[in-house]
Structure 1
Amino acid sequence: MVNVGVMGTGYVGLVHGAVLSSYGFRVTCMDVDEHKIERLNQGISPIYEPGLEELLHEGLEKGTLSFTTSAQQVVQSSDVLFIAVGTPAKEDGSADLSYVWEVVQQIGKYINGYKVIVSKSTMPVGTSRSIALYLDGSLRGTSYRVDVASNPEFLRQGKAVSDSLAPSRVVIGTESEEAKELLKTVYATHLEQDVPFLFTNWESSEMIKYASNSFLAVKISFINELALLSEKVGARIQDIATGMGMDDRISPHFLQAGPGYGGSCFPKDTQAIVDVGRKNGEELYVVRAAIAANDKQKAKMVSKIEEVLSFDGTLKGRTIAIWGLAFKPDTDDIRYAPSYEIIQELLSRGASVKVYCPQGMRLAKQQWTELSSRIQYCDSEAECAQKADAIVLMTEWEQFRTSSWEKIVRTMRGNVFFDMRNMFTEDSVVRQWFQYYPVGSSEYGYPLQEAQ
């Protein structure tokens, strides 16, 4: 049986390690955070992801999953090592690979035999080749040998476990037949499931991840710009998206208008691929436009709120209830969430802000230190709405559908509802109780304008 090591216990590493352990592999996950590792060994997940804690408990009970802070232990006990550490964006948009190189240096230091080193983190084109060259040089003069592979993840947060158990595809970039065969063993379950596999070179594999996320970001920015136009010409963006999605060449996926994309992937990956293009003399105009459109979308959402609620040109004295902080439902991830910038702008324009999110508040309290003292955290959506002039729905958590609308509106000071996810466009009860403003439709709160 192949022994697997995972360096990094974030969303990618933890889910990947837990799933592989459920297939019977002996998996050791490593992280430098002692408190996190202590809790993981108790079966307590540091992140909210449906189905993850069940896998953790299963792996710990069966003895197929363990956690350590020792890089030496995980390197020397593993045949295949997955690098799954963060690659955050630098201020200039380029990917910060400092965590990656710390791991690579530890591998070179503690290696004790043949290993396959697999890049699971999203890394700029050329990184796998650089890792291979570094390890080849550091092991020269020894009998040890390594092969390097790129194996990008395609997980959707909130569905990461199910996506790992039944992936849409598996992409592996390697120049070694031995590494290819070993990874076929690791992914034997997916081969049996007839999951599509693509074997390619390092650079193509790395590019596929960036290209996929950038294309989806472009699609979101495109529909968001059409939503802004729809509000001015009298069209309904949901009908437009439905009509477009009927075309098999387009598909309905990622055609939902909203406040802009966020999360741990799209913002940093679009910036990173633009940086790679710039460094190689190719400006990526389409991706750059998607980034600019996303920034515009968030600003437009704030302007919409201000237009409806402002008094004497300011939001001073207005109380706004924000429902949802996570960038999408079924996750606690608040990285690059549109809610952050929208809350920041509302505060700067004089509004008081109350917030509620089923899963995102714990991390918001920890990470949004510059905002936390200026916003009020609430224990429910109903409490959040009390004495508010307006509700701004930022994340489409399913529990919001069963809210007691009459009770909620009677505790509010106003009755304005900004539905940034178009969650209630077909709900007549919500429209009965609220002055309702969705994204991309003029029929609820926006006067029609004659086409010029």
Structure 2
Amino acid sequence: MNVRITMVGTGYVGLVTGACFAELGHDVICVDKDERKIDMLRQGKMPIYEPGLDELVQRNVVAGRISFSTDLSESVKDRDAVFIAVGTPTEAGSDRADLKYVFAAAAQIATAVTGFTVIVTKSTVPVGTNRQVFDIAKANLNPEAEIAVASNPEFLREGAAIKDFLEPDRIVVGVDTPQAAEVMERIYAPLLLNGQVPFLTMGIETAELVKYAANAFLAVKISFINEMANLCEAVGATVEDVAHGIGLDKRIGRAFLNTGPGWGGSCFPKDTRALLATASDAGVKSLVVSSAVDVNNQRKTDMVSRVLNAADGDVKGKKIAVLGVTFKGQTDDMRDSTSLILLPALQEKGATVVAFDPSNPHEAAALLPGVEMTRTAREAATGADVLVILTDWMVFKTYNFKEIASVMATPVMVDLRNMFSAAQAQKNGFINYISLGR
């Protein structure tokens, strides 16, 4: 059944979710106060990099199921559900989530909605936020309207977000009224037809906590395998075999047991900090999550020494080529990427750093001053003393590394994603190959 939906915010979550709702057959308006973004979307251009998103949006624009606007007040009238999908960055000077954009959206939505509307928080927010959203909305509510609130956390992986939405492991909805539950079931009904997708209805506070608990647990898994990688190096073991051996245990699972240079992105760093702040406010110790954060921070710093060792302990006057600056492959997101620690540290030690990223992230120039961004991997590697693979772009596996090695001053590879093997590197002409946990 068609549901009239408005998405407030066309960032990563809002745009992907809105486009996917339209794909399910719903009538969707995506709203953003950023006129540049809306103009881009109306021209068929995507403000973010996500595989398949441009085709998905265009298909639903043509079908008349999705449109874009800067007028929030007009866009929330006569809608069944209005989703808040604005940013919740870490608050300056603390570990708490900054909720000012969520609360501002709630107040503005409430003044303009008509009829019965469910205000749904899609943004990741701490426990108790939806109750505050309801209070703010009630205080500003249009007399002609009636509202309910719902928590509907997202579980989208950047680079695989469309698949994650259309083939979800579960759908989590926090509600406290039958009317809100009925609207949320109608929205997700097309995904529930075969009965294979768990639709979990629970209390609002519980749904809020599910999102933080999920991200914290995944962050713990990554920090754990990175610690095991260090131990593997010390005792002569191989981390991939360790991960495979424990990952086949159904109680553990193989996902998120890939060693690397530390986790980053838009979710894990801010969500672990926010969860720790919530636990602290509640007087509860969270030693496991706190340790995972500490391990991750140390991990990023340790990557500097890996590159230094590859350059015989000194990078002064040397050229370091870096492949990938985003926090992971298949996305242009640079938030909390290891590149923001590693590359400036190498510059401070006297290196000339040149980088290439397939997504050509528009933020690179501002976030990595003095780092030249090239158009190809070969261009970055030309004359380089060390080649660092920092991001796990799948396309890197298709590159001609024999040619890349041939243009380097010293063909040395530091593979911080374990994308290759020592045998492959040697076959391609690299005289030294350094990886993690082997």
Fold conserved between structures, TM > 0.5 = yes
Alpha carbons 2:38, 2:69 under 8 Å: kept = yes
Q: Aligned partners of 2:37 and 2:78: how far apart in 1? A: 21
Q: Which residue of 1 aligns with 2:172?
A: 171
Among candidates 403, 406, 409, match of residue 410 of structure 1: 406
| Displacement after TM superposition at 1:438 (Å) | 0.6
Q: Aligned partners of 2:25 and 2:406: how far apart in 1? A: 55
Q: Which residue of 2 aligns with 1:382?
A: 378
What is the SS of the residue equivalent to 1:337?
A: coil
Q: Aligned partners of 2:310 and 2:29: how far apart in 1? A: 54
Among candidates 106, 109, 118, match of residue 116 of structure 1: 118
What is the SS of the residue equivalent to 1:187?
A: helix
What is the SS of the residue equivalent to 2:118?
A: strand
What is the SS of the residue equivalent to 1:114?
A: strand
What is the SS of the residue equivalent to 1:362?
A: coil
Q: Aligned partners of 1:153 and 1:2: how far apart in 2? A: 19
Alpha carbons 1:333, 1:360 under 8 Å: kept = no
Q: Which residue of 1 aligns with 2:84?
A: 83
Q: Aligned partners of 1:173 and 1:402: how far apart in 2? A: 44
Alpha carbons 2:78, 2:113 under 8 Å: kept = no
Closer, same or farther in 2 for the Cα pair 1:47/1:246, shift >3 Å?
same
Q: Aligned partners of 1:52 and 1:352: how far apart in 2? A: 36
| Displacement after TM superposition at 1:211 (Å) | 0.1
Q: Which residue of 1 aligns with 2:249?
A: 247
What is the SS of the residue equivalent to 2:353?
A: strand
Alpha carbons 1:150, 1:172 under 8 Å: kept = yes
Q: Which residue of 2 aligns with 1:428?
A: 423
Alpha carbons 2:310, 2:414 under 8 Å: kept = no
Among candidates 265, 283, 286, match of residue 284 of structure 1: 286
| Displacement after TM superposition at 1:33 (Å) | 0.5
Q: Aligned partners of 2:26 and 2:332: how far apart in 1? A: 28
Q: Which residue of 2 aligns with 1:8?
A: 9
Closer, same or farther in 2 for the Cα pair 1:34/1:177, shift >3 Å?
same
**Aligned-partner residue type, residue 375 of structure 1:** V
Q: Aligned partners of 2:280 and 2:350: how far apart in 1? A: 39
Alpha carbons 1:47, 1:332 under 8 Å: kept = yes
What is the SS of the residue equivalent to 2:279?
A: helix
Q: Aligned partners of 2:145 and 2:78: how far apart in 1? A: 15
Q: Which residue of 2 aligns with 1:323?
A: 323
Q: Aligned partners of 2:360 and 2:124: how far apart in 1? A: 24
Q: Aligned partners of 1:144 and 1:73: how far apart in 2? A: 14
Q: Which residue of 2 aligns with 1:444?
A: none
What is the SS of the residue equivalent to 1:190?
A: helix
Q: Aligned partners of 1:231 and 1:418: how far apart in 2? A: 15
Q: Which residue of 1 aligns with 2:240?
A: 238
Q: Aligned partners of 2:324 and 2:140: how far apart in 1? A: 48
| Displacement after TM superposition at 1:136 (Å) | 2.5
Q: Aligned partners of 2:206 and 2:156: how far apart in 1? A: 19
Among candidates 217, 226, 229, match of residue 224 of structure 1: 226
Q: Which residue of 2 aligns with 1:67?
A: 68
**Aligned-partner residue type, residue 353 of structure 1:** V
Q: Deviations over 1:39-58 (max 9, x none)?
A: 11122111111111111111
Q: Aligned partners of 2:426 and 2:170: how far apart in 1? A: 42
Q: Which residue of 2 aligns with 1:257?
A: 259
Q: Aligned partners of 2:182 and 2:411: how far apart in 1? A: 62
**Aligned-partner residue type, residue 336 of structure 1:** D
Q: Aligned partners of 1:242 and 1:202: how far apart in 2? A: 37
Q: Which residue of 2 aligns with 1:22?
A: 23
Q: Say whether 1:338 aligns with 2:338.
A: yes
Q: Which residue of 2 aligns with 1:274?
A: 276
Q: Which residue of 1 aligns with 2:387?
A: 391
| Displacement after TM superposition at 1:153 (Å) | 0.3
Alignment RMSD, CA only?
1.4
Alpha carbons 2:229, 2:436 under 8 Å: kept = yes
Q: Deviations over 1:264-288 (max 9, x none)?
A: 1001100000011111111211111
**Aligned-partner residue type, residue 79 of structure 1:** D
Q: Which runs of 5+ in 1 are unaligned?
A: 442-452
Q: Deviations over 1:317-356 (max 9, x none)?
A: 1111100112122111111111211112111221110000
TM-score normalised to the size of structure 1? 0.93
What is the SS of the residue equivalent to 1:118?
A: strand
Q: Which residue of 2 aligns with 1:154?
A: 155
Q: Aligned partners of 2:253 and 2:288: how far apart in 1? A: 20
Q: Aligned partners of 2:194 and 2:12: how far apart in 1? A: 24
TM-score normalised to the size of structure 2? 0.96
**Aligned-partner residue type, residue 384 of structure 2:** A
**Aligned-partner residue type, residue 438 of structure 1:** S
Q: Deviations over 1:194-221 (max 9, x none)?
A: 2111100111000000000000000000
What is the SS of the residue equivalent to 2:216?
A: helix
Q: Which runs of 5+ in 2 are unaligned?
A: none
Alpha carbons 1:324, 1:394 under 8 Å: kept = yes
Q: Deviations over 1:87-121 (max 9, x none)?
A: 01123111011111110110122122211000000
Q: Aligned partners of 2:372 and 2:414: how far apart in 1? A: 19
**Aligned-partner residue type, residue 42 of structure 1:** Q
Q: How many residues align?
A: 433
Q: Say whether 1:437 aligns with 2:425.
A: no
| Displacement after TM superposition at 1:143 (Å) | 4.8
What is the SS of the residue equivalent to 2:436?
A: coil
**Aligned-partner residue type, residue 242 of structure 1:** H
What is the SS of the residue equivalent to 1:153?
A: coil
What is the SS of the residue equivalent to 1:145?
A: strand
Alpha carbons 1:261, 1:294 under 8 Å: kept = yes
| Displacement after TM superposition at 1:429 (Å) | 3.0
Q: Which residue of 2 aligns with 1:445?
A: none
| Displacement after TM superposition at 1:361 (Å) | 3.1
Alignment of 1:29-48 (within 5 A): 29-48=30-49
Q: Aligned partners of 2:402 and 2:36: how far apart in 1? A: 45
